[in-house]
Amino acid sequence: MDKRILLAALVAMASLQAGAQRLTVEKETVDCGSVAYDAPVTAVFELRNKGARKLKINDVRVSCGCIGVDYPKGEVGGGDRFKVRLTYDARQLGHFEKTAAIYSNGSKKPVYLTMRGVVLAEVEDYTGSYPYEFGDLRADKNVLEFDDVNKGDTPELEIYIRNTGTKTLQPNIMHLPSYLSAAVTPEKLRPGHAGRISVSLNSEKLRDYGLTQTSVYLANMPGEEVSPEKEITVSSVLLPGFDGMTAEVKKFAPKMEMSADSIVFDFEGKSRKKGEIKITNAGRSTLKIGSLQMFTAGLRVTLGKRELDAGESTELKVTAYRDELSKVHSRPRILMITNDPDRPKVVVKIKTK
């Protein structure tokens, strides 16, 4: 074949390929999560004409008559983006998966779109305040406190969340330690919708009595990086058990008495202040303070003695630092774990002015 004819044929073929339409879809499947019975739900699909010539949708065929379709009836310019909306009437309970086939002059085969979810008789209403921001997610709290936990307990706390963005999110809790687990309902959260995260504590996996603290992170989607803006602090207080103690034995138990159960610090322009509480053993055997811990930064604590004989006293001295306390999320408190069966956990509240 003459080289000039071959070259002309190749140029013509390249020209045809360059001018060919090409219909693409950003996300072929949309998960609608949980929807209420008889409340129509709409899935929005982003498409694009990646060809150079104008594109025309010739037909859209749906898998059943329960689906409504909205799409551009005119031509779509080369390189332009557009949307196709599928609306399911949600008149049947249970899981659903509905499809639509897009026929156009932009592709030889149809482009398939799928919407799925589950229709429930009732969808929980998580109304309320969401003051804490985690990207496009907002939450009703950023601190979890498991108080008064006994060995063997599996308490559960909930975080209520709302998607304030424009895209469907898949919330998840990152960096969970072995003693915590979390479940998100629904797994995928559509824009404007709310859900909840249930966080459970397995007390059998806590090593020591007293306070255990950690930080977990609320992500909008799996695989996000950890950052301080996503932090949720979690604390748990594991108590010693006295269930086997008889009334007769209890008569000889230690008894902890305190001059106050809180300290108020009025900084009056100063950066730090000091306070103290007197502790007395009013019982008949040795009082042991096995754990002395702070729930937050901003406090320095010293205790004269950890073991007090019957009738003996000591002082708990506390120094509060104004600037550090102003940055903490949770309530500043001091925790003591004792062998007093009536007061195994003693909390000293710290208040500031």
62-115 pLDDT, tens digit each: 999 999 999 999 999 988 999 999 999 999 998 999 999 999 988 889 999 999
Calculate mean pLDDT across residues 36-54: 88
Tokens for 249, please give them.
Answer: 């034995």
How high is the pLDDT of residue 13?
45
Q: Which two tokens stand for residue 302?
A: 């010293």
Tell me what percent of the residues of the chain surpass a pLDDT of 90: 70
36 within 8 A of 70, measured Cβ to Cβ: no
The token duo for 133 is 């921001």
Which band of pLDDT confidence, cut at 50, 70 and 90, is reported for residue 7?
A: very low
Mean pLDDT for the stretch of residues 2-8: 50
Res. 283: pLDDT tops 70: yes
Q: Is 55 exposed, middle or buried (0-12, 13-18, 19+ CB in 10 A)?
A: buried
Digit-coded pLDDT (tens) for 124-138: 666 678 999 999 999
pLDDT tens digits, 155-206: 999 999 999 888 999 999 999 999 999 999 888 888 888 889 999 999 999 9
CA angle at 303 for the pair 350 and 281, rounded to the nearest 5°: 95
pLDDT at residue number 124: 65
Whether pLDDT at 2 is above 90: no
Amino acid at 133: E
Question: What type of residue sits at position 43?
Answer: A
Please give the average per-residue pLDDT across 262-278, as a whole number: 95
Distance CA 64, CA 42 (A): 15
Kindly report which listed range (12-16, 61-65, 205-209, 305-309) carries the lowest average pLDDT score. Answer: 12-16
Span of 124-133, 281-290, 312-321, 322-331 with lowest mean pLDDT: 124-133
Per-residue pLDDT band for 36 (boundaries 50, 70, 90) equals confident
- Residue 219 in this model has a pLDDT that exceeds 80: yes
pLDDT score recorded for residue 16 = 40
- In this structure, are residues 21 and 53 in contact, taking their beta carbons and an 8 Å threshold? yes
Q: Percent of the chain, pLDDT > 70?
A: 92
Is the pLDDT confidence value at 11 over 80?
no
Report the C-alpha gap between 8 and 319 in whole angstroms: 88
Q: Are 252 and 340 in contact (CB under 8 A)?
A: no
* Average pLDDT of the chain, as a whole number: 89
| pLDDT for res 15 | 41
